[in-house]
Amino acid sequence: MTFTIRMGEPEIKALWDDLFKRKASGELNADEDEFFGKWVKTTNFLSQNPRHPSLSTHEISDLSEKFGVKVFEAYLENRTPGARRMFWAYGPGKGDITILSVERHPNDDKKHAYKKIKLSSFPKPVGTVVMVRRPR
């Protein structure tokens, strides 16, 4: 099964859109380009197989409690100081995975380090109708 990858709103979607736009126009610096390349690669693996061995996917119970759904961590980098992690969850729709945050790995020595991570919200499912009332 191939999953549709969605970006959490508003933070992750804004970051992705910004990096994507600047990559297309050649405006990323070397560090941003490297980060974006790793993010794209990790996202592609995730869409094909959330349990791909290189992702080292596992649930983060502190974040699952905080967000109210199972939140998973996948590796963008490993064995690197300040290695980046991608936090994601299944949803909002069937066959969707939403990226909720991309952060440097929290310091494991601190109690409840994961609870300090800010998670974006699920985007509205495709096809959602929003009722708008006309002003009177």
User: Domains in the chain, start-ordered, CATH in brackets?
Assistant: 4-116 (3.30.2310.20)
Residue 105: band (very low, low, confident or very high) from pLDDT cuts 50, 70, 90: confident
Residue 69: band (very low, low, confident or very high) from pLDDT cuts 50, 70, 90: very high
Specify the pLDDT at position 129: 44
Cα separation, 43 vs 55, whole angstroms? 10
**Prediction pTM value:** 0.85
Strand ranges in 39-121 using DSSP code E only, listed in sequence order = 58-59, 72-75, 84-90, 96-104
More confident residue, 81 or 65: 65
Per-residue pLDDT, averaged over 11-22, amounts to 96
- Cβ–Cβ contacts within 10 Å for residue 78, how many? 12
Task: Please tell me whether residue 44 adopts helix, strand or coil conformation.
Answer: helix
Strand ranges in the chain using DSSP code E only, listed in sequence order = 4-7, 58-59, 72-75, 84-90, 96-104
How does pLDDT run across 27-38, given as a tens digit for each residue? 999 999 999 999
Which residues, 6 or more positions from 15, have their beta carbon under 8 angstroms from its beta carbon?
Answer: 7, 102
pLDDT at 98 > cutoff 80: yes
Specify the pLDDT at position 88: 97
Q: Residue 95: left if φ>0, alpha if ψ -120 to 50, beta else—which one? A: left
